Amino acid sequence: MERKDLNRIKMVLVEKHRTSKWLSEQLGKDPTTVSKWCTNQSQPTLEILLRIAELLEVNYTELVRVE
């Protein structure tokens, strides 16, 4: 079964010249947790996703993959 990436957090971090380490510090989350979000091994809650969008100054829709 093919795995689908559900979020674009890593891509948006790259576009904004930010790192997952920076994001984990801003959110007060363990770097491993943020890494799992960036690799789509797990997903953040909607509340966290909205906070990530705010930190990266993007609309939350830029962080989710829609097909």
> What's 5's DSSP letter?
P
The residue written with tokens 């770097």 in the block is: 31
pLDDT given for residue 1 in this prediction: 54
Tokens of 39: 């690799």
Q: What is the pLDDT of residues 7-50, one digit of tens each?
A: 999 999 999 999 999 999 999 999 999 999 999 999 999 999 99
Is the pLDDT confidence value at 58 over 90? yes
What's the CA angle centered on 31, arms 64 and 53, to 5 degrees?
A: 30
Is the pLDDT confidence value at 56 over 70? yes
pLDDT given for residue 5 in this prediction: 80
pTM over 0.85: yes
